[in-house]
Structures are given as C-alpha cells and as structure tokens.
Chains A and B, each alone.
Chain A
Amino acid sequence: MSFTTNAKKLPAILLGTGLLLGGCSGNNSGPSESAAGTSPETANAGWQGTITMYAQAYTPNSKNIAGLKSQTKLREVADEYEAAHPGIQIEFVDEEFKDYTQTVRVKAAAGEMFDVFWGQWAELNNTFPKGIAEDLTEYFDKPNPYIADKATWKEAMNATVISETRSPDGKSYNINGDYVATAFFYNKNLFEQAGIPQAPTSWSELISATQQLKAAGITAMSQAPDYDWFQRHFLSDFFAKEYETIAAFDDSPGVSSLDQSVAIAKGLLNTSDERFMGWWPLFKSLTDNWKPDYLSSDPGVVSSTARNDFLAGKTAIFYDGSWLPENAKDAKVAFELGSFNFPVLTPADTPHTTGEDVSGAVGGPNAAFQFAVATKEANASMKEEGKKAAVIDWLHFLGTPANVEKIVNEHGTFVPTWPDTKPAESMTELANQASNKLKALGVGGSSPNLNKNMQRIFGLYLSGNIDFEKAKNDVQKELDAAIKEYQSKNNVDFSQY
C-alpha cells in the first residue's frame, strides 16, 4: 500500500484544529530539563519499591495488547529514572482491558488500582467514581524539578488543554500530553472504479460521492455513526457564535461538563433551539447512501467489524481516528489509502451553518498520554510512607516536554501538545495547521449515560425506525435526565449561572 501525501496530512488538519499548539512548530529550543541524575528534593522519604503504570497505547515492549507496535521509548525513560533513583522500579502493565471503565472501577474498589494509570479527562471528571485519582492541580502550580526553566509545571503544558479538561470544581486529574484526530479515510481504488477523480471537498461533493459509489454497486460507507463524534462537528459549527457564552458559564476557558449542563438547562444546547438537532436530517441524507447494517448499532459493538470491512476493501469510506493509517499498514491493505477532512459547510447545505472549519472538533486531548495517579483509597499501597511522593516524582520526570515528544512521536499516530514539543514527521502538517483554538461543542459531559442513550436514538432515526419528532422528544427526555443527574451528583444550582 502506498500512503499518499494526503493520508499523511489529513489527520493533522483535523487534529490540529483545536488546540493551541502554538508551541508545536518552531521555538524548539531543545529540552530544557535538568539531567536525569539530578534528583530534586524528591520528597519520597527514601521510599523504595515498584511503581506500577498502565500506559495504554504507549505501553513499551507490549506482547499482550493487540495492535501495538514495538515501542521502547517509555521503557528508556523509565530506565533513566531507575538509574537515577536506585531502589525504585517502574513496572508497566502489559494487559489489554476489554472494558477499561469496569477494570478501573473494580480495581479501585479493591484498593488495587495501578499507581499511575491511563485516564482520560472526561472519564476522570464524570465517569469514574470521585476520589480514585489524585488532584494534580497543586503540583501543576509548583515547579517540576526536572524542568529547569519554568516556574511552574503547568507552564510546560498546554494551557488550553488544562483549562478545557478541568473538573466541575476546577481540579486537574491527569497530565495530558497528546492529541488525536479524525478524518474520512477512503479507498482510492474504489473511488477510481466509481469514476470519482478526487476526494470530496464539500458536503455536497461528499453526498454525491456516496451516491456515485452506491450507483456503481460499491458500498460507500458502512459503520455505526458515532453520535458523540458527529455532534461535535455540527454543534461546533452551528453554535460557533455562542461558544464564548457557553464556555464562560464556569468562568474558565474551555467547555466543561458544567458549561454543557448549564447550556442544556438554559435552552442553548437543547431541542428548543432548532439548530441542536438541525443537523440530523442533513446527516441522514448522507447515511441514506450507506449500507444500513450498522446504522442502529452500538459503535462499540460493531466498530472493529466495520473497520475490518474497510481494511478488507469492502467499503469505500470509513470515518475514524488518526490511528487508522497504522492499522492499514499493519493489515497490509491492498489498496491506496487516502483521506479528507470533515468539510466546511455552506448555507446551501444548511441554513444553520456559520461556515466555521470544524474538521478538528472531534479529535482533541483524548489520546493516550493521559496519566493519573491513584489515591490511597483506590490503591492501598499508596499509604506507604513516601510512596505518593515517589510516584509524583516519577510523573514529574515523565512529564517533561522532551519525554512527551519522545514517547508520543515514537507511537506515531498522535501529536504532542505541549509547548516546546514538535510532532513526528508524518504529523508535521498538523502542527503547521494547528493554529486555531479548540472550540469544540457537544453534550455528553452531564452524565456518563447521555451519549450512549443519544446514540440509541440517533441510530433509530438514521435507520428510519423513528421519525424526527419522536427522536426530538426522546432526545429532550435524555437531556433533562442528564442535567438532573448532574445537578444531584455535583450539587449545582443552574439558576445562578
């Protein structure tokens, strides 16, 4: 298979669109960390032992996690740390968890959580039980002893990401160092067969391409359209002018789950505003050209089958994350892979559009360099005197721009987001384009169940099993239930916003 320039560019475009990766390109004055050996006032009180870490996609030398290529950088960083801290070992958990949320819940309840674990901000803020991860805010506000030229650790991090990923009460539970993108990937050979000379660049071209493919007897697309992903594209566009208003409810930058809940309660992001579901019929005009098999399915159940269908050349287009080119390479696909972004909409497509480029609204700081530290309640061994300090010290060591860059770029499908980091060569385009501030909007933060339930309604609507009015009523019920749950769990009074 040959990867076209497009394929290399694409994830980037998407990705970028969001974060202030301002520092990604240029100004790479090189790592400013102090030498590994100069252990700071590691307040670990001489604690010695093994620190366990689940690093998800960055797990080094993995033998048990499907789809992971051989990686060594994180192990090298750990080796450096061990060499500088005799008596401390870093052990990486090499296991694949089919239901990670369940794993976290069970391990935490048993007091056996990993010392450092992969945890995405939305799950740490909303899904996992409160109290399983240490609040890292105080460490962000202090110097990282391994970064010599920054007064605080957070100065080395991406400020937008920190503000967007805070919990409703303003806490940061993970260090967040990378970014993922999404795009439409396509099979160039099938496009040629259908007489389509180039990738679609607008919504109407996308519709027309799927129609042409269908007419040629080729399955244009076949997957469960992920509600959470596509809502972010459309809502970020339709509500672009209200973004600042919505983001400001909690008095901090970025759209938090509190902002979302208040916006729902105030009627900004709910069905009383016709824009909120105004994209459903538009999107249905696209999915009507798809093979209907998975339209009403749970993406979690059918995504791997649908992806395999695409990699096997059975479908022409597949919407996925920036990891797909690696998957295709591993699968040694027999076709030429291309990609294109979610198009910029025009008033001819929908009157609700603001014409914003929202191709990067789906990706975001939700990749794999997302590490949290277990509390002593979730991990009984953290009660050992000095262990927490040792684990934080390891996190300090790991969380430097140089290490973020090294580890993220070795993996090759995500982009490091911290200033003073630069992306891997294949992601260079991304960094160059990543000049826009992330202004992604969506709902889902109010309740862990909200997006799952919305997905069910979305699927029934797209597959023609319910009409728009029924879908609208059901969606409003879900929104009402979600903010009610948010209110009771977080003791929030929406009327004060």
Chain B
Amino acid sequence: MAGKAKIKSALTGYGFILPTFVFLIWFMYYPVYQALNGAFTDWDGFNSPNYIGMDNFVRMFSDEVLRQSVVNALIWVALSIVLAVIPPFFVAELIFHLKNERAQYLYRTFFVVPIVIPGIVTILLWRFLYQGDGALNQLLDIVGLGSLKQLWLGDPNIALYSIILMGFPWISAFNLLIFYSGLQSITSEIIEAAKLEGATGWKRVRTIDIPLSAPQLRLIMILTLIGSLQNIIPPLIMTNGGPGYSTYVPILHMYNVSTVNGEFGYGMAIALVMFVAILLLTLLNMRLIKSDS
C-alpha cells in the first residue's frame, strides 16, 4: 500500500474512533480534572470557587466522621472481597466438575438468571427482610432461634455487617462466570498430568485450580475493591449511614457534604483521596497476586 493510501486508511480509522475519544475525554477525564481542581477550592456547587490551598485536605485529618467512615470502608472491602471470591469460586468448581454438560449449562443458567433483577430491588427487598418484624426475624422465630432476633439495621453494632452480608448466598453471577471460564481454560494436558500425579479432588483444587485461577482472582479482587469503595447505594438507601455513623462510608460522606451541605470543594477533596487510595490498593493487589496473563 502506498504511503498516501496508508495515511488515508489510518485517518479513516482514527476518524471512526475520534467520537469515542471525544466523549471519553469529555465525560470521563474532564470531570476528573475538574474534581482535581475543585479539591483545592471552597466551591458550593453554584458560585465561583475560591482557591483555599490544602485546607480541605487538612480538614480531613480532624474529620471524625470521615475517620469512622474509613474504618467502615476497610471492613466493607475486606468482607466484600471474601464474599466476592469464595462463594462464586466454590460454585464454579462444583458446576465445572459436573459430568453432564447439560447439567452444567442448567446450573450456570440457574445462578445467572437472578442478574436480571435490578440491584435496587434487591436492596429494597433486603431492607424489608431486615425489619424488626421482617422475614429474617420471623424465620428465626419459626426455627426456635427467637433469641437471636436482632434489629438488623437499627443496632449500630451490627448494621454495617447486615448491609455487607445482604445478598445471601453471595453468588455473584459475574464472578461465577469469570471463575468458570478460568477453570475451562485449564488445558486437558495439565488436568491429565495432575491426575497421574494423584492430584484429584481438593488436592487438585488447591494445587491446580486455585493457582491457575490467579488472573481471575486478581481481576475480581480489583473490581470488588473498587466497587465496594464506590458503592454508595446500599448504605444510602438502607440506613443513610446510620444508626449514628455506623454504616457511613467515605463515598456517602462525600455525597452528603456535597449535596446536603453544599461543600462540593470538600467533597471533591474526599473523592480525590479516594481515587488515590483505590489506585494504590489496586497496584498493591496486582503486585501481591502476580500472574502471567
């Protein structure tokens, strides 16, 4: 292809992709740039912002609500990662080891179908389940465990865990399919060799499946880490951070200081710190769980 034709072809390609880049920059990167700038101002969301240097960041150190929010967020992240990894991986293993392919298909479908239910419906449903006279306490009564009844969302000592643990049995369809596809990608040669070495059952899971699922594990951990730090909906809808600040998380604090108090500058500073924290945790995670792919 002549040089001119090559250039024309390249320009055509760039021409097609240009709108995507424009929108990406406009809607994704420009707001980040704005937030970066706004973090150093006292912007109220409407009037012209005033530059206040590092005041917003200094304020964070004395912000007791933010401190409690960070502790809650760390608990949330840790438990979320456990729930995002163990149950889906366990189910993926069970399905993968079914002999009958049709049964595999049916079980996969069975676990994936609930994905069509909007997340907000699930949250509202769990809010009702957790009510004092909700299904959970009624169930405990029925099975003779009435003494275990709780104010699941009204007790500051357990409300956070109630929100984190909603969604039982915690089989994320997305994570399940990722783990399942990872298991499928293990070559038959490796499996046969493992069998010859006596690696069957749990031994195979430990020595073959888990190590070879590291790329999937890493992906899910990163996505869960980011997702749980950014997930404002459950605490906002279920408790609005209460009782007290027991279910407050940084993203909810950011939302409330911005939209309720009109302190968008401070909200942006929190967002900026969260961005840096997520980036660092992601890099750390990638270093800790190395894989070739």
Contact = CB atoms under 8 A, between A and B. Distances in A.
Nearest to A296: B243
Contact of B47 (A127, A129, A447, A466): A129
A105 B242 CA distance: 24
B87 interface: no
Contacts of B131: 293, 305
Report whether over half of chain B's contact residues are helix, strand or loop; otherwise say mixed.
loop
Contacts of B44: 129-130
Nearest to A224: B242
B132, B133, B238, B260 — most chain A CB neighbours (10 Å): B260
Contacts of A293: 131-133, 151, 154
B155 A447 contact: no
Given A296-B242, A300-B240, A301-B237, A101 B154 contact: no
A297 interface: yes
A465 interface: yes
Nearest to A459: B243
A294 interface: yes
Interface string A442-455: 00000111001000
B45 A465 contact: no
Nearest to A131: B47
Nearest to A300: B240
Interface string B221-264: 00000000000000001111111110000000000110111100
Interface residues of B, number: 28
B66 to A, nearest CB: 13
A447 B157 CA distance: 28
B46 interface: yes
B153 interface: yes
Contacts of A452: 256, 260
B239 A292 contact: no
Contacts of A258: none
A214 interface: no
Contacts of A132: 46
A183 interface: no
Contact of B259 (A101, A291, A465): A101
B256 to A, nearest CB: 8
Contacts of B244: 296, 456-457, 459-460, 465-466
A47 B235 CA distance: 48
A33 interface: no
Nearest to A103: B259
A250 interface: no
B182 interface: no
User: B46, B156, B240, B243 — which one has the most chain A CB atoms within 10 A of its CB?
Assistant: B46
Contact of A297 (B153, B245, B256): B153
A326 interface: no
A468 interface: no
A463 interface: yes
Contact of B242 (A129, A130, A448, A459): A459
A465 B156 contact: yes
Interface residues of A, number: 36
A298 B239 contact: yes
Interface in B136-157: 151, 153-157
Contacts of A127: 260, 262
Contacts of B260: 101, 127, 448-449, 452
A240 B289 CA distance: 66
Interface string B5-35: 0000000000000000000000000000000
A401 B262 CA distance: 35
Interface in A404-458: 447-449, 452, 456-457
A297 B47 contact: no
Given A105-B46, A465-B155, A298 B261 contact: no
Nearest to B257: A449
Given A129-B44, A293-B131, A293-B151, A465 B237 contact: no
Contacts of B133: 293
Contacts of B237: 301
Interface in A107-135: 108-109, 127-132
A132 B237 CA distance: 28
Interface string A274-316: 0000000000000000011111111011000100000000000
Nearest to A113: B46
B45 A109 contact: yes
B123 to A, nearest CB: 12
Interface string B149-168: 00101111100000000000
Contacts of A466: 244
A295 B239 CA distance: 12
A127 B260 CA distance: 7
A293 B134 CA distance: 11
A457 B257 CA distance: 18
A383 B244 CA distance: 45
B262 A292 contact: no
Contact of B154 (A131, A294, A448, A456): A294
A456 B243 contact: yes
Interface in A20-38: none
Nearest to A132: B46
Interface in B14-73: 44-47
Nearest to A449: B261
B45 A460 contact: no
A82 interface: no
Contacts of B47: 129-131
Given A296-B154, A463-B154, A448 B261 contact: yes
A301 B133 CA distance: 17
Contact of B151 (A105, A292, A298): A292
Contact of B156 (A130, A131, A292, A460): A460
A102 B259 CA distance: 6
A99 interface: yes
A-B residue pairs, 5 tightest by C-beta = A296-B243, A129-B46, A293-B132, A298-B240, A129-B44
Interface of B: 44-47, 131-133, 151, 153-157, 237-245, 256-257, 259-262
Given A292-B151, A294-B154, A297-B154, 13 more contacts: A129-B46, A292-B154, A293-B133, A296-B243, A296-B244, A297-B243, A300-B240, A301-B242, A305-B131, A449-B261, A456-B241, A463-B155, A465-B155
11 contacts: A101-B259, A105-B259, A127-B262, A128-B262, A131-B46, A293-B133, A297-B242, A301-B239, A378-B46, A449-B257, A463-B154
